[in-house]
Amino acid sequence: MRILITNNRLDQRAGSESYVETVMGALRDLGHEVIAFSPGLGEVASSLRSRGFEVHDNVTHLPDGIDVIHGQHVNAVAEVRRVLPSVPLVFVAHSWFIPNEDPCAELAPAALVALNERVQNRLLSIAFPSPIPIHRLRQPVEIGSFDGIRRVPSDRPESALLVSRKITGRLKSIQEACERAGIELRTLRGESADPRLEMAAADMVLASGRSALEAMSMARPTLLIDQTVCAGWITEDSWERIENEGFGTGNPTDSVTDLDALLAMYSPDFGIQARILAAHQHAAQDHASALIAIYRSIADTRSTEVLDQRLPSLRKQNWAQTHKLQMLRRSNADLRAENWALQRELDRIGQSVPPGPTGVRSGSDRPRSGFWFRIETSGAALRVIAILLALRDALKSIRRE
């Protein structure tokens, strides 16, 4: 079978990019030919080519004889659909909150794949002209690739690796908690081509998404934490809930905030549990076999719908606006996390901020409380207000378009 996989970008190694790397290798191991397309190439594309894979950023250069499209991200799939309008499409969605992950009827998908429960619920809610089968698979990970270099975690953690491109406001509180626990913390924020090399040398890993799953495959005690969520240690007891929520994209109200207590709970046995879970529930070999079964189930499906030629351009514009909105939301989350860390520090040392001057008057000409004075004079609070206003304007702009 000749399989074409699309992705928004293949430059820096992030979640969907590492998924593409993993799945392409696992599908090729089953004897299939796998080709990649992305409008944005870079380091990941070069790595795939070095492994012998064909990678394109121009749809007119795609080879003939594509049997199935494994589509990820609407903007990339829309470009491919211009030249392959009748090839069966399996749309694979990773995220429930990024619009570029939402399949649309114009692309004529024959089957949908959800990689966590949140995404599955999202796909079930989308209105299509006719029912489309939805398959629930788990995120895949390579097992055993780095077994020769990983070391056994210490009985007491001496070193920790934080893997996150996005975490900022929460970083200081993590650093201070590790310092209090006597743990040397190293942070990777995208500077490593493959963080698994660094994971192999650490006693424990703090991460979310596919980085957390890769740490599990390395038998590292894994603490799931990102900018807005801290779900605790990934163990036999917590794995199902964490997997359903997509390894870190779940409900912030479920977060654990006492990092000192979490670090004190560390056990090297968490790494053993994580490895077993990764091997039994997330093996790339099993995922690839399940994908082949889905591809074959739609092999005779031929799309007769004509893709509106304006769709790729419109989707590209929408994606640009959505990306801008996501950046604003991320900045807002950073500031909220910074505020949370500062409040935690105040609570820890028992300090309080003195009330503001009594000469400050509210609209009702009453003295302001210390709380309102802090809001008025806090640079972080003013930045949050500015970002919220920008979010409002961005949403208005998107609605107008």
Q: What is the CA radius of gyration of the chain?
A: 23
**Paired strand residues for 136:** 114
> 3-state SS of the chain: helix, strand, coil percent to 5?
45, 15, 40
In a structure prediction context, what are the per-residue pLDDT tens digits for the chain, which is 401 residues long?
999 999 999 998 888 999 999 999 999 999 999 999 999 999 999 999 999 999 999 999 999 999 999 999 999 999 999 999 999 999 999 998 888 899 999 999 999 999 999 999 999 999 999 999 999 999 999 998 777 778 899 999 999 999 988 777 788 889 999 999 999 999 998 777 788 889 999 999 999 999 999 999 999 999 999 877 788 999 999 999 999 999 985 555 555 668 999 999 999 999 999 999 999 999 999 999 999 999 999 998 876 554 555 565 565 666 566 666 666 766 776 677 777 777 777 777 765 555 544 444 444 444 444 444 444 445 555 566 666 666 666 666 665 65
Q: What is the predicted pLDDT for the residue at 360?
A: 41
What pLDDT, on the 0 to 100 scale, is given for residue 271? 97
One CATH from 2.40.50, 3.30.70, 3.40.50, 2.20.28 for 159-281: 3.40.50
Q: In the prediction, which pLDDT does 13 show?
A: 86
CB < 8 Å & 24+ apart, contacts of 103-106:
103/71, 103/74, 104/74, 105/129, 105/305, 106/78, 106/305, 106/307, 106/308, 106/311
Q: How far is Cα 60 from Cα 238, in angstroms, rounded to an integer? A: 47
pLDDT of residue 306: 44
Q: Domain 2-140+283-304 is in which class?
A: alpha beta
Whether 89 contacts 108, CB under 8 Å: yes
Domain-by-domain residue ranges, the chain? 2-140+283-304, 159-281, 325-400
Neighbouring CB atoms inside 10 A of 134's CB total 16
Instruction: Name the token pair of 387.
Output: 């970002």
Q: Which residue(s) pair with 230 in the sheet?
A: 225
Cβ-based neighbour number of residue 366 at 10 Å:
8
Torsion of CA 319, 321, 323, 329, to 10 degrees: -140
**190: DSSP letter:** S
Model confidence over 89-115: pLDDT tens digits? 999 999 988 888 999 999 999 999 999
- Beta-carbon contacts of residue 200 (< 8 Å; ≥ 6 apart): 146, 149, 150, 151, 218
- Which pLDDT score, from 0 to 100, does residue 321 have? 65
Assign 113 to helix, strand or coil.
strand
Rounded to two decimals, the pTM is 0.76
DSSP single-letter state for residue 57: S
Same fold, 2-140+283-304 and 159-281: yes
Q: Could you give the CA distance from residue 141 to residue 163 in angstroms, rounded to a whole number?
A: 16
CA-based diameter of the chain, in Å? 77
Q: Name the amino acid, one letter, at 320.
A: A
